[in-house]
């Protein structure tokens, strides 16, 4: 075998390995890729029952039903236009309740309901996941009071406070630097 032929075989083998590695990486991305849908988007796009996806919106008031000692949940997620029945088995987040924002990750069932494997609830009284906020704005159900939690929103002014030094007597006057006067 000549040097030229060996070099050609080596280059072809390297390119084959690179192609196989690229295919494996792209396949791994496809398995881990999860798309976000609002209930209206889900009805319009019909993504199928085999793909894992996320839905988001508000838990419809009056729709939450728990069973099995609080381990099985059935509720409806709404974006103001469309409602979607969701079922979840597991421990719900502490902030999960009716009228609050939720993101559920799972699969669409053949009957059109959604079977969630994971529930994510908002973490405080003002936070809304960006995907849920965009879907609610798109549907016209955005609540203006939620905009106060947007990045860059004005925070309340800090209150000034006088600190008593540790080594100062309890009734000693304190200067602006926190040291006691003799």
**Is there a domain that residue 132 lies in?**
yes
Both structure tokens of 59: 């838990």
Tell me the pTM.
0.55
Q: What is the pLDDT of residues 103-126, one digit of tens each?
A: 999 998 888 889 999 998 866 556
Residue 126 resides in a domain = yes
Answer whether residue 180 is part of any domain. Answer: no
pLDDT in tens, 126-174: 666 677 778 788 877 766 554 444 444 444 444 434 444 444 444 545 4
What range does the domain containing 111 cover?
34-145
- CATH assignment at residue 120: 2.40.50.140
d(C-alpha 165, C-alpha 171), whole Å: 11
Number of domains in the chain: 1
- What pLDDT does 133 receive? 78
**89, part of any domain:** yes
Q: Tens digit of pLDDT for each residue in 13-51? A: 999 999 999 999 888 876 667 788 888 888 888 887 788
Binding-site residues from annotation for heme: 123, 127
Whether 163 is in a domain gets the answer no
Q: Report the binding-site residues.
A: 123, 127
Instruction: Summarize pLDDT for 51-107 with one digit per residue, the tens.
Output: 888 898 889 889 999 888 888 999 999 988 889 999 999 988 888 888 888 999 999
Asked, for residue 105, whether it belongs to a domain, the answer is yes
Residue at 44 is within a domain: yes
Q: Does residue 67 lie within any of the structural domains?
A: yes
């Amino acid at each position: 075998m000549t040097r030229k032929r060996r070099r050609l075989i080596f280059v072809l083998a390297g390119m084959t390995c690179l192609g196989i590695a690229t295919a494996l990486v792209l396949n791994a991305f496809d398995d881990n890729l999860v798309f976000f849908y609002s209930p209206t988007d889900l009805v319009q796009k019909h993504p199928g029952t085999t793909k894992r996806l996320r839905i988001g919106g508000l838990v419809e008031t009056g729709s939450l039903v728990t069973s099995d000692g609080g381990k099985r949940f059935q509720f409806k997620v709404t974006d103001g236009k469309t409602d979607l029945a969701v079922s979840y088995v597991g421990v719900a987040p502490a902030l999960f309740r009716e009228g609050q924002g939720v993101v559920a990750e799972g699969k669409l069932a053949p009957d059109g309901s959604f079977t969630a494997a994971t529930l994510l609830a908002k973490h405080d009284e003002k936070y809304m996941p960006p995907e849920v906020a965009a879907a609610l704005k798109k549907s016209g159900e955005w609540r203006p009071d939620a905009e106060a939690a947007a990045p860059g929103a004005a925070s309340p002014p800090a209150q000034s406070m006088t600190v008593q030094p540790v080594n100062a007597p309890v009734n000693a006057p304190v200067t602006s630097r926190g040291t006691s006067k003799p």
